[in-house]
Structure 1
């Protein structure tokens, strides 16, 4: 291919090309430049907000991770996207093209491609079966089929074209019979998901996807669900759970206790969490939590001297580890700052220390300055757009 000087978007020659050619060209441009390109003409704005541009980006593999953050204040949820500028990150308000759904508290959210599903929660103190979907391409909300039962504070994840929702039942008689259900994206139908055993899972549990399996982890037990076989692997022993819970004697209880008491996420096939106020990853070879090297300075910025720096969230940000935390503002204890850092990860083998993961801080900054204590970080989801 010969090198030619790129034509500016305002060029009459570029604008005269067929829409499909323009879409193919613009699909190769970073999403961060779309706001400027939209100012060129109304036709460009229409193309960049169309389904065709997203289909083209998906086809040629140029989709990018985009973090959506939901903040709750004065009985209203407000959505933002994370913008990266040089070595800093910041929040940009999302202009929704449709009316907001009801302010559901304690709902669970899960990202599916370029959409965010908001499931269950409470409205005016009552549990809800409602499911709302935020289309991050058009920034519009729509209703999805309701769940079979009301759920508050449930856990959810996406695997193999289906959304798994576990826990959150408010009625005691439903905690055993209806503790989980599955939503098929293709058929738009809900079906029950049977429990792995007669043991009660309790409310303090985590769910995650490793490879092609769904893992449900509690303080005392761990279960893996194989959707292809349609069964829980714990029913045939724990030998298939070793990649997640380790192989050392006594390691199972320790891992379960650590990951059910703090924030965590999965990047690739590696689990990351905050253990003893340190960012750590779980090494399946040794069955131990190991410190992510290179983040000592970031731990200091978190302000470990404060015991109310809570609401730390860890997010898989397109293969990178994204950390969000809050700590009181130095000027006024009734206010706090919300920080964010994007971490590039590198696995390596040290002849002296064995397997290691090195974290490099690419960008970090305060994304909410001096917010009131009533300002809650509701949830974060990373979509592909």
Structure 2
């Protein structure tokens, strides 16, 4: 039974699902292709015909890790996938699932996991230069794209990974090349603000918005405060920028948010007053789940939730990963739909045999201590120090 809104459709035993079962049992399927050196072909079975619209709605609901299987089954799906049309349909029907992309220490390839960490695949290597590969990088997502910002020999650059084609492309570059900036995503839009200009090393107050459908960066009004090493999130339909340092290297406890409706920035004084600051530290580790803001205090390994009405933070107990071992560096703390995702190491010092640990939890700001669940994944033999991590909802 497949449900579409309030309606439903029943299939006979010779349905698309049956096609999928036959394909999975074939020898060529086990090797991940229809046949060596051949293009994917539409399966030729004696089955009732479905309308293109109904078939497309069915295909759009297949999980992302199974998309390559569907490409082996149907040339039509391959066309829909590479054009990005299948993801537009998923957005329209409200069918989204998280995927986690990360770059672990010692790896050249980014790894992509499904939201349950049941599958893992390596992305193609970013075709950049030595300077970009070994330099500091920031990452964020928008729509079906992952963006990695860094510096090549010739200057700052943004590389984007396209989920539909499984390829990396250069650009378009930000209007102001920057590093150590805040970023956040909302649907097909990405926001960046602050940071350090990669050439002049000036601390910035400028902000930009990126439309992943038109591939255009748009200048936003400047923030109230210049800041670097800050973090961003999307909360209450607004782009928040938190913490960091100003041009005099003074720690900032204030936050501010950009309101698209009024096209203005608004200051939130003392927003980080309850979070101990230490130097050198990572940018604040923050994540939003169910429209609530959480931070991982790297000095105490405690999770805290932001209380909007009182502009304060409430403790929710310790986390299983030792974020204090490197003052927050190397730890991935992200929102995974309505869950919180935590990736790192459980020991204070990394050993050669150390592997990353993955934990999730369904946060509740009303409890005294959250319960974390360890995710067992056969592909977690990666180094526990995570350089970059981004979550895509597509």
Query: What is the TM-score normalised by the length of structure 2?
Result: 0.71
- Is the CA contact 1:131–1:145 (under 8 Å) kept in the aligned structure 2? yes
Aligned partner (choices 310, 313, 317) of residue 289 of structure 1: 313
Give me the whole-angstrom Cα distance separating, in 1, the residues matched to 2:229 and 2:66: 42
Q: Which residue of 1 aligns with 2:152?
A: 123
Q: Which residue of 1 aligns with 2:367?
A: 356
Give me the whole-angstrom Cα distance separating, in 1, the residues matched to 2:235 and 2:128: 32
**Quick check: 1:254 aligned with 2:263?**
no
Q: Which residue of 2 aligns with 1:337?
A: 355
Map 1:233-252 onto structure 2 (within 5 A).
Answer: 233-234=266-267, 238=268, 245=271
CA deviation map 1:201-243 (0-9, x unaligned): 3x34222222232222223332233233232223xxx5xx79x
**Quick check: 1:377 aligned with 2:386?**
yes
- Is the CA contact 1:182–1:192 (under 8 Å) kept in the aligned structure 2? yes
Map 1:127-138 onto structure 2 (within 5 A).
Answer: 127-128=155-156, 130-138=157-165
Give me the whole-angstrom Cα distance separating, in 2, the residues matched to 1:222 and 1:229: 18
What's the offset of the Cα at 1:145? 2.9
Instruction: Between the two structures, name the one with larger relative contact order (CA 8 Å, sep ≥ 6).
Output: 1
Q: Which residue of 2 aligns with 1:212?
A: 237
DSSP 3-state at the match of 2:61: coil
Map 1:172-187 onto structure 2 (within 5 A).
Answer: 174-175=202-203, 178-185=204-211, 186=214
Q: Which residue of 1 aligns with 2:173?
A: 146
Give me the whole-angstrom Cα distance separating, in 1, the residues matched to 2:123 and 2:283: 35
**Between structures 1 and 2, the one with greater strand share:** 1
Larger displacement relative to structure 2 (99-108 or 357-366): 357-366
**Distance 1:309-1:284 versus aligned 2 partners, 3 A rule:** closer
**Distance 1:303-1:147 versus aligned 2 partners, 3 A rule:** closer
Give me the whole-angstrom Cα distance separating, in 1, the residues matched to 2:215 and 2:84: 21
**Quick check: 1:93 aligned with 2:118?**
no
**Quick check: 1:56 aligned with 2:89?**
yes
- Is the CA contact 2:175–2:217 (under 8 Å) kept in the aligned structure 1? no
Give me the whole-angstrom Cα distance separating, in 2, the residues matched to 1:210 and 1:325: 25
Give me the whole-angstrom Cα distance separating, in 2, the residues matched to 1:363 and 1:39: 34
Give me the whole-angstrom Cα distance separating, in 2, the residues matched to 1:368 and 1:357: 30
What's the offset of the Cα at 1:2? 6.8
Larger displacement relative to structure 2 (311-320 or 35-44): 35-44
Unaligned runs of 5+ in 2: 1-7, 23-43, 244-251
DSSP 3-state at the match of 1:254: coil
DSSP 3-state at the match of 2:381: strand
Give me the whole-angstrom Cα distance separating, in 1, the residues matched to 2:9 and 2:53: 22
CA deviation map 1:324-347 (0-9, x unaligned): 1125699x9234211112322345
Give me the whole-angstrom Cα distance separating, in 1, the residues matched to 2:235 and 2:91: 23
**Distance 1:67-1:149 versus aligned 2 partners, 3 A rule:** same
DSSP 3-state at the match of 1:109: strand
- Is the CA contact 1:156–1:166 (under 8 Å) kept in the aligned structure 2? no
Give me the whole-angstrom Cα distance separating, in 1, the residues matched to 2:323 and 2:258: 37
Aligned partner (choices 166, 169, 172) of residue 197 of structure 2: 169
CA deviation map 1:283-331 (0-9, x unaligned): 33455433436xx7x62xx46997799522211111211111125699x
- Is the CA contact 1:168–1:179 (under 8 Å) kept in the aligned structure 2? no
Between the two proteins, the alignment pairs up a number of residues equal to 342
Unaligned runs of 5+ in 1: 246-251, 348-354
**Distance 1:309-1:2 versus aligned 2 partners, 3 A rule:** closer
DSSP 3-state at the match of 2:330: coil
**Quick check: 1:265 aligned with 2:265?**
no
CA deviation map 1:145-190 (0-9, x unaligned): 3234432333222469453232122466733xx5423144247245
> Alignment RMSD, CA only?
3.9
Give me the whole-angstrom Cα distance separating, in 2, the residues matched to 1:209 and 1:305: 26
**Distance 1:363-1:25 versus aligned 2 partners, 3 A rule:** farther
What's the offset of the Cα at 1:263? 1.9
- Is the CA contact 1:309–1:326 (under 8 Å) kept in the aligned structure 2? no
